[in-house]
Each structure stands twice: as structure tokens, then as C-alpha cells.
Amino acid sequence: MASLTTRDGVPVLLGARHRRRGRGDRGGKRRHPGDLGTIRRVEDANAWRVVGRSPYRHEWFGYPDGGVPDVPFDELVDRVATVLGEERPDVVATFGPDGITGHPDHIRIGEAATAAFLRFAGDGGPGFRRLVYGGIRQSVIDRWNQRPARSCLNRGPPAAYATTPAR
């Protein structure tokens, strides 16, 4: 997922994955019945409802969960760059080199969003003033890694969130 803000401050989101019945979350253990792509779209709609508005633009690229690293890199960069070029945002926010949690999809879309941003930065046109990477404090990751072990919903060994790139 990459997000950006247009010159008028309207957020735009790019969704790069979740098209098929997937392995689910946490190391391939399915946490939810049904199609993971549908679940993610419902989660997204609910999150926007809480914010009190709909996104100006939201692109779902339709790649399967876990399959983004298999997409040819140039294709992925071109898809992100198409949206960025049309919107000319001032700020692009994406995953950094660690993908925040080490998820291979997050790492790859972060690399593609960075490459797409660099295509436009400094080209003399409007926008592309900042590229920022999201992050989570180590203490939050530590709490996430402890919570499944204490949860009554735990159905197997807890899956640890990575704190280093999965390469």
C-alpha cells in the first residue's frame, strides 16, 4: 500500500494486493473465512467510514496476498508511477526498506513506490516534495508479539512480526 496527498490535501491510496483466497495473515494461518481481498476491502471501507469521508481516489492493483514480489518490478513501478503522474502529489508515504513488519509485499510495494517517486522528483513539475516512510516503535512491535500468546483467540503459535528486513 502506498498513500499520497495531493496539492489540495486530499489523501489518495494505492492498494497493491489481495485479489484471491489467500493464505491469510500471520504466517499463512487463515484467521478469517472467505476471500482475503474482500475482507481487506470491507476493512478499508469501515476505516474510511470512521474517518467520516471516502477517499478521493483508491486504486486496488489486484495482486494476490504474498504475490507482489513475483510481479515484474518494472510493471509494479509503472502502475504506481501512472497514478503518481496523474495526481502529482506533494507527499508520498509508503513502506520503507523493512516493510514495517518485514512482509515481502510491503517491502516490494515500498521499493516500487520509491522508484516511482524518484521518476518525478526534481523534474520541474508540480508536486513530489517529500517521500516519507512509515514506522512503528519497537515497543509497539514487542506488544504485538506478546498479545497473541495471551489472547484467547490464539489458535496456534504466535507469529512474530519482523523487526528487520526479510531478505
pLDDT confidence band for 6 (50 / 70 / 90): low
E strands in 99-159: 130-133
Question: So what's the pLDDT on residue 86?
Answer: 93
- Note the CATH number of domain 2-136: 3.40.50.10320
**Residue 64 contacts residue 20 (beta carbons within 8 Å):** yes
CA distances from 36 to 3, 43, 52 (A): 21, 10, 24
- For the whole model, what pTM was predicted? 0.70
pLDDT at 107 exceeding the cut of 80: yes
Query: What count of Cα atoms within 13 Å lies in the side-chain half-sphere of residue 46?
Result: 6
Residue 61 in grid coordinates: 492493483
Residue 95 in grid coordinates: 513502506
pLDDT confidence band for 148 (50 / 70 / 90): low
